[in-house]
Structure 1
Amino acid sequence: MTAGTKTENTPDIRGILFDKDGTLLDYDASWEPVNRQLALLAARGDAPLARSLLLACGMDPDTGVVVADSLLAAGNSRQIAQGLVDAGATYDVADLTIELDRIFADAADCSVPVTDLAQLFAQLKQKGLKLGIASSDNERSIRAIVQRFGLTDHVDFIAGYDSGHGCKPEPGMVHGFCAATGLSAQQVAVVGDNNHDLHMGRNAGAGLAIAVLTGTGSRETLTANSDFCLNNITELDTVLN
């Protein structure tokens, strides 16, 4: 389907599980400097190696563009750390994972939202919807974003890769959201900017898998696995009953 085409067959959605980066946050504006920082750290200050590490993990070091569904687009800290080590970083994977989690948590202070998140979440809650955030980032980073943008009273569920629900595209985060809210998977819309999010929704039996174009994915990479492909989360009203 495409944006703005809800039909009488659209499921009765009672909850929305959002991805964070590229969905609630503008990916390029929020993450380009962070990706450069983590590559330079992993390279121990070696600039040519840092360029190689960025390329290996999915980012063009000249343009800053990140390849859809690459490690930097969709991986969690452990997966990115492993990719960096495989590409030549002289770190222990476990130690580098700790460093990446620290960098990602600190990045909340410079993240750029795609819209006024507090206003949008308040409007969605007024409609009676349950709201959650499920990210491949660590839980500490998600909670920092929730606090910074005034979402604490609106969010019913938070899951990072380290929260015990498994990792995307596994279905565990959706199941955790359902357990926390009393909803069935068919009553949940999963919203994200890459195929890991959409596959998670499909694997869990979510009622809708909704793609947005504020991250690393494109209409071409996302349409096949989504029920709707929106420009951004402000268009959710066009597809939800």
Structure 2
Amino acid sequence: MTTDISEIAGILFDKDGTLLSYDESWGPVNREAARIAAAGGDSALEERMLRAAGMDPVSGRTAADSLFAAGTAAQIAAGFVAAGSPLAVGPLTQALDDLFVRGAQHSVPVTDLAALFARLKARGFRLGVASSDNERSIRETAERLGFLDHLDFIAGYDSGHGCKPEPGMVLGFCRAVGLLPSQVAMVGDNNHDLHMAAAAGCGLKVAVLTGTGSVATLQAAADCVLDDITGLETLLPAGLPPA
């Protein structure tokens, strides 16, 4: 953690499980992804696809740090193929990307994101989203939920900054907004987010419990664990000069 939390001037958010309630937003989408991968209505194969990607087909819960929780569309597609999907990785990746964009229309925010981002922006923070989803899905989600205009940076797995847990998305955010990594708080619900933050040298690594992670799975890699992102408003400095 940074020695002085008042140095934090930028916040980079993960999307799914951090800005969006994971199970409510992605449970139905993940089931549809398994149906696509099974390619033909084989219920036993669909169940195998779900388990391979980290979702319990009975409870609907997704395991922390699993493919569904932290993987890109390409990584999920490769996992499906390894588990027996008859489709090739390339076409399956494209089908999943298209599904994830459609799924953005039904995502459930953890709070009023437009209002929260407006308040954080008014306090001078530079704001970004870094997700393992594709960039188009991130933009559509941000536009639908009313916080797109408050963002200074957006990175998906296909934006050219690499994938989590590599540091590229954080470093891209720093270049875009003119900050050092030590001035950035990374906020996420999975260890991929926190490991990316550590690799980049972020000043603050914040875990939230609105996704697939738990205190037990997150506390070792996090500087602090919050119930949800609204806790940032009291955690971070009272105010900064306007950006």
Common fold by TM > 0.5: yes
Which residue type is aligned with residue 115 of structure 2? Answer: Q
**Contact 1:168 1:196 (C-alpha < 8 Å) held by counterparts:** yes
Aligned residue number for residue 90 of structure 1: 86
Deviations 1:18-73 (A, max 9, x none): 00000000000000000000001110121110001101111000000111000011
Aligned residue number for residue 48 of structure 1: 44
Structure 1, unmatched stretches of 5+, are 2-6
Q: Given the alignment, which residue of 5, 14, 17 partners 1:10?
A: 5
Aligned residue number for residue 23 of structure 1: 18
Structure-2 separation of matches of 1:154 and 1:238: 20
Aligned residue number for residue 132 of structure 1: 128
Which residue type is aligned with residue 33 of structure 1? Answer: P
**Contact 2:35 2:46 (C-alpha < 8 Å) held by counterparts:** yes
Structure 2, unmatched stretches of 5+, are 238-243
Aligned residue number for residue 172 of structure 1: 168
**Contact 2:120 2:233 (C-alpha < 8 Å) held by counterparts:** no
Instruction: Tell me the SS of whatever aligns to 2:35.
Output: helix
Q: CA deviation at 1:233?
A: 0.2
TM-score norm. by structure 2 comes to: 0.95
CA-atom RMSD in angstroms? 1.2
Deviations 1:207-230 (A, max 9, x none): 001000000000000001000100
Which residue type is aligned with residue 111 of structure 2? Answer: T
Q: CA deviation at 1:8?
A: 7.3
Structure-2 separation of matches of 1:238 and 1:71: 32
TM-score norm. by structure 1 comes to: 0.96
Which residue type is aligned with residue 81 of structure 1? Answer: A
Q: CA deviation at 1:11?
A: 5.1
Identical aligned residues as a percent: 62
1:118 aligns with 2:102: no
Instruction: Tell me the SS of whatever aligns to 1:103.
Output: helix
Instruction: Tell me the SS of whatever aligns to 2:5.
Output: coil
Structure-2 separation of matches of 1:8 and 1:68: 29
Instruction: Tell me the SS of whatever aligns to 2:219.
Output: helix
Q: CA deviation at 1:10?
A: 2.6
Aligned residue number for residue 109 of structure 1: 105
Off by >2 Å, runs of 4+ in structure 1? 7-11
Aligned residue number for residue 145 of structure 1: 141
Q: Which moved more, 1:42-51 or 1:18-27?
A: 42-51
1:239 aligns with 2:235: yes
**Contact 2:29 2:100 (C-alpha < 8 Å) held by counterparts:** yes
Structure-2 separation of matches of 1:64 and 1:227: 29
Which residue type is aligned with residue 178 of structure 2? Answer: G
Which residue type is aligned with residue 16 of structure 2? Answer: D
Aligned residue number for residue 81 of structure 1: 77
Structure-2 separation of matches of 1:176 and 1:153: 19
Instruction: Tell me the SS of whatever aligns to 1:153.
Output: helix
- The number of residues matched between the two structures is 236
